[in-house]
Amino acid sequence: MPSEASHYDTIIIGGGVIGLYTAFHLSARMDPRKVLVVDRTFPSGGASGRNGGGVRQQWESKATIRLAKESVQTYSRFGRDFGFNPWFRQGGYLFLAFREEERKTLQKMERGVREEGLPIRWLDPAAVHALVEELEVPGILGGTYLPTDGVIHPFPVIWGLISELKRRGVELRYRTEVSGVETVSGGVRGVRVQGELLRADRVVNAAGGWSQQINSLAGLPSFTKPTLHEILATEPVKPFLKPMVVTLGRGTYFSQTMRGEIVGGLTMDHSRSQRQGLYSSGEFLVEMARELARLMPRVADVRILRCWSGYYDDSPDGLPLLGEDPRLKGFYQANGFGGHGFMLAPSSTARLAKILLGERTDLDPHWISPDRFTGQIPGRPVEGLSLG
């Protein structure tokens, strides 16, 4: 017989920003001692400690725009609410179009974002140059700029959430690997960690780039897949860059920190690589250096100090999975955010907590539910701006 201490209401697998924010919202509405967060590594050991910190509201899907808008509001007051300053700097996001197809995509997106009440603007090439004088690349057709987008320092967010969850009495087990998801009669029974069975009627897969492995432990094929992305930081230079800059073609993105480092990345194809795990490649360093020098010649001689990598957890339609998996009762998916888990964490997990408690949300199930991949749904939305 398992002891009372090993029986929980909800076990969340994954102690990154999605798992922690899910526990935060749940613990406000139920006994916090019945919520467990378990993670195989240390706090910020996954994507939550490996991202560029971008938080934007420029999306194609209205639901994504609304979630992102709510997340920006949450992060704007995070320091006051949690006592940890995440240095959320709202210098905006500048999306650049170099081809006619990209211009049409951005202008369509601009209309949708403006309809949600956000102060987005379309900039012609002269206005783009006026905003970022250092962009000297020819061929820019224009871009969208939303000044309330920004960049956040991810570590204080994790520290603040952990501190608050501990204060509430939520149990957090880091460096604890899940070795099995126990099921019985088509439903979840609990998880097994280090030979111990932890009982729970609800298990949440918030493992990000490792969610595929957790699904496998539950005997389920994954709808998502991990994709390696690399990022670098340069030596500090005198601050000159206000917005995060993004290009659609290569998925290039870069911003400047308050210390002056240029931090950014671009999309690379690692599918044929023989290397395993998280790694940094010389190919990325060459490509990213060329791209930065092409877009901003003034940084061509700036030295690269460090680089690292992390996993995007990509879904087929660029939208996250939030809700109970129809193939296993009590097993909930909270993954598939691509590289945007930090952007959408506060608002999306608030909806997930409602779902876990059996309540309806304001989100269309066709947009978030994992069962959208088990059948044909006419007109199911796709997020085309799931990059950068």
What confidence category does residue 4 fall into, taking pLDDT thresholds of 50, 70 and 90?
very low
Please report which helix (H) or strand (E) contains residue 291, including its range. helix 282-295
DSSP state of 297: G
Q: What would you report as the CA-atom Rg of the chain, rounded to the nearest whole angstrom?
A: 21
pLDDT digits 0-9 by tens, 211-269:
999 999 999 999 999 999 999 999 999 999 999 999 998 889 999 999 999 999 998 88
* Structure-token match 């088509």, residue found: 186
Sign of CA dihedral 270, 275, 279, 282: negative
**286-334 tens-digit pLDDT:** 999 999 999 999 999 999 999 999 999 999 988 999 999 999 999 999 9
- Mean pLDDT check: name the lowest of 61-65, 155-159, 346-350: 61-65
Q: Within 10 A of 278 (CB to CB), how many other CB atoms are there?
A: 14
pLDDT of residue 379: 57
- Asked if residue 40 has pLDDT above 90, the reply is yes
pLDDT of residue 362: 92
pTM above 0.85, yes or no: yes
User: Is residue 67 predicted with pLDDT exceeding 90?
Assistant: yes
pLDDT tens digits for range 112-161: 999 999 999 999 999 999 999 999 888 999 999 999 999 999 999 999 99
What whole-number distance in Å separates Cα of residue 324 and Cα of residue 220?
A: 13
Non-local CB neighbours of 156 within 8 Å, separated by 6+ positions? 78, 84, 85, 86, 87
Q: Residue 381 pLDDT more than 80?
A: no
Residue 376 has pLDDT above 80, yes or no: no
pLDDT tier at 5, thresholds 50, 70, 90? very low
The CATH code for residues 4-50+155-223+316-373 is: 3.50.50.60
363 CA to centre of own chain: 18
Q: Which residue has the higher pLDDT, 277 or 204?
A: 204
Q: Which residue has the higher pLDDT, 373 or 324?
A: 324
State the pLDDT confidence band at 336, using cuts at 50, 70 and 90: very high
Nearest to 142 by CA among 106, 93, 90: 106
Q: Which of 23-27, 73-77, 149-153, 382-386 has the lowest mean pLDDT?
A: 382-386
Confidence of residue 380 (pLDDT cuts 50, 70, 90): low
Residue 311 burial (CB < 10 Å; 0-12/13-18/19+)? buried
49 has a pLDDT exceeding 60: yes
Q: What top-level class would CATH report for the domain 89-149+226-314?
A: alpha beta
pLDDT in tens, 163-221: 999 999 999 999 999 999 999 999 999 999 988 999 999 999 999 999 999 999 999 99
Q: For residue 169, give the DSSP letter.
A: T
User: What pLDDT shows up at residue 1?
Assistant: 37
Closest C-alpha among 58, 57, 39 to residue 49:
39
| pLDDT of res. 377 | 60
Q: Cα dist. 233→51, 153, 309, 319 in Å?
A: 12, 14, 12, 28
Listed by start position, the domains of the chain span 4-50+155-223+316-373, 89-149+226-314
Q: Which residue has the higher pLDDT, 364 or 272?
A: 364
